[in-house]
Amino acid sequence: MKSFFKKLSCLIIAGMICTACSCGNAGNNSQQGSGGENQPNVSVLPNYTLDEYKFSTVFIDGQEKVLEQYAETVAHEDGCVIYDINSRIGDKNYLKFDIETDVDLVGFINYYNVNNPEETNSEKFFIKANSTEFTTFLDSFRIGARGAFDKVITTISFQGVDETKEGHFTFKSLGVSDRTIELREDWRISNGDMVLGTSAFYGGCITYLEKLDQDVYEYMDFDGNIVIDRYVDPDYDAMQVVSDKVNFVNIYDLGREIQPSYYSRVESIHGYNPDYDPEATDTYYQGLGGGVLYNPIQCGDFGGHTPQIIDYVWREDYLYIIMKAQEWFFYTNIQANGYIEVTYYFDEGGAILVDNVYTDFSCFIGERDIALNAQETPATYFSYPLNYFYCETKQGLIFDNNLSEQNGRNQGKTSLKANVSSADYFYAVKGKYVINDWCAFVNYNKFGVGIYMPNADEYVASRGRKSNNYFSEQENKKYHPGFFTFGEDEITPSYASINYNYVNPCLHRKMIDFVPLEYSYALFIGDTDEMSQVFDGLAPLNLNAHLTDPTQGWPAKN
C-alpha cells in the first residue's frame, strides 16, 4: 500500500504527518526566520482529492531558509525558524500551509484567546519531506479540546529533523478556512455487502461493522443467552430481538473499538514527562500496576477525552483519516505526539482493506536502546456473542470459547498444544504457527468477523467474560453512561457491553521518532469457509512483505 499512501500524501494533504521539538514555545525568543515496497496490485484505486475550501490568506513570505542538521537531544532549540504571524483568525480552525521542504519538519502553531490573552495553546505538528502543502484542523472540535475560542495565531516555528543533512525550506503562505467537523457524525462506507463506520468522536477508528442482506439479528435465545447469527427468523415466537442492524464492534469505552494502539517504555531520561501526578491515583489508570507507558492510541483516553482529527476525506466507499493520537493512560487529557493515518476501502473480493501509517514525533532520545514492545496493530474488540476464537494453525484448529482475560495473571498459550497450569488462559499464538495469516471470533456456527494480517509476530486473543447470559451475570447489563443511553428495562446491545472478545495481530517493534510504521490488514464478516476464500484472494497482494525486513518501518531487532 505504500505507493497509495504516497499518492494520497501528495494529492490530498501532502506531507501531513508532522513533528516538533521544544523550539515550538520560542515565540518570544530572537527570531531566525523573517517576518512576517511492497505494493498490492489493487485493480483501480480512485483519485480522491480534498474538496476545494475557501481559504483566506493571512500570511505571505516566500523566502528560502536553511534548516540546521538535526541533532537528537531532549531540549533541542537550535535550528528553529520562527515566523511572526500575528493574525486574528476568530473561530476558523482549518489551516493550509503552502510550503517547500526537502527534509522532514517539526514545528508548533502558537496562539491565544482574544477574550483571555493568558489562555494560550501550542500545537505540535510534523510535515514530510518534499511536501508542498500541509492542512490541519486546530484543536477545537474534540472532547477535551483546548483551542475552541476566538484566537490570534502569534507564531509558527519549523525545524528540520534530518540527522544527515541541512534542510531547505520555504514558507510561502498561510490560509485559513471555516471548514468544521461534526464530532458525532457517522462516517460510513459500504460496498453493498458490508458497512464500515466511524466518526471524529472516536478519532476515526472503526466503531461499526454490519453485514447486509443476510437476516443478521442479535437476539435472546431460550436460555436467556444473547446470540448473534444470520438467516434468522425474527417472527419466531420464542425470540426476543435486540437489534436487526447488528454492530459487530464493541464500543463500550474509548479503548475498545478497532484501532491501533502503540507503546514505548520511554522514561524521563528519554524526555518523556507526561503532565500527571504519579502520587495522585485519580490522574491515571491503575490497572497495569507498574506505572504508565507511552501509549498513543486512536480512539481516546481513559479519562474520556477524544483525539484530534487533523484531516479527512470521506466518500461513499472510501475513507481517509489522519489524526493526532491521544495518550490512553490518563484522566488529564494528554495528547501524544504522533500522527495515525488510516485508509479504509473495499477489495474487489469483498474484504475491507485498512492501510495504516504511524509516525511518532516526540523528539525522544535513545529510543533504539529501549526494549521491543508488542504493538497493537490493531486491537480489535468484537461484540461479545461471537465468543469462539477461531485460528487455523500448523498444530491443528483452535475453536475455543473458554479463553479468559489477558490481565497479567492468566497465562498465554503460544500454540494449540502449549501447556498451561490453569483453566484461565488466553492465546498468544506465534505467527509462524498460524496458517494463511488470519484468525476470527465467531459463534458456534462459525459465523463472525475475521481479521487477516500477514507477517504479524503473534496473534493474541482473549475474552472479557465467560458467561453470555444477560440475567445470570449483571456485568452484561452495564454500559458506559457517557456514550450510551438505554431505558431501565432495555436489553443492552452487545456492542455497548463491558464484555468483549479481543484479537490483536501484533508486531514486536520499537517506536522510533520520524520513522513511519506502515502495514495493512483486512476484515470480513461471514463464516469461516467464506473468510478463507476471501482472505486467500488477498494473498497475491503480498501485504506487509516489507515487515519481514527489520530495517523497514520500526526496527524489529535490538
DSSP sequence for 35-46: --------S---
β 501-509/335-346 pair status: unpaired
Closest CA to 12 of 357, 324, 311: 311
pLDDT of residue 12: 40
Distances (CA, A) of 52 to 13, 105, 281: 12, 25, 47
pLDDT < 50 regions, the chain = 1-21, 25-47, 74-75, 472-473, 558
Query: For residue 433, what is the DSSP state?
Result: G
User: How many C-beta atoms lie closer than 10 Å to residue 265's C-beta?
Assistant: 16
pLDDT of residue 390: 98
pLDDT of residue 18: 42
User: Would you state the cell numbers that stand for residue 307, as one nine-digit string?
Assistant: 483525539
Q: Cβ distance 133 to 15 under 8 Å?
A: yes
pLDDT of residue 539: 96
Distances (CA, A) of 541 to 255, 309, 535: 30, 30, 10
pLDDT of residue 226: 86
Q: Which fold has domain 2-177?
A: Jelly Rolls (2.60.120)
User: Would you state the cell numbers that stand for residue 297, as one nine-digit string?
Assistant: 492510541
d(CA 299, CA 255): 6
Backbone angles phi, psi at 228, to 5 degrees: -120, 125
User: Would you state the cell numbers that stand for residue 187, as one nine-digit string?
Assistant: 462516517
Distances (CA, A) of 376 to 158, 264, 297, 321: 31, 12, 9, 18
pLDDT of residue 60: 97
pLDDT of residue 79: 72
One-letter amino acid at 60 equals I
SS3 state of residue 25: helix
pLDDT of residue 549: 72
Closest CA to 437 of 417, 415, 457, 414: 457
pLDDT of residue 20: 44
d(CA 457, CA 507): 5
pLDDT of residue 288: 63
d(CA 360, CA 517): 9
User: How many C-beta atoms lie closer than 10 Å to residue 213's C-beta?
Assistant: 8
474 alpha-carbon distance from chain centroid: 31
pLDDT of residue 13: 39
d(CA 156, CA 530): 52
d(CA 464, CA 502): 8
d(CA 463, CA 410): 12
Angle at 98 between CA 94 and CA 102, to 5 degrees: 125
pLDDT of residue 38: 36
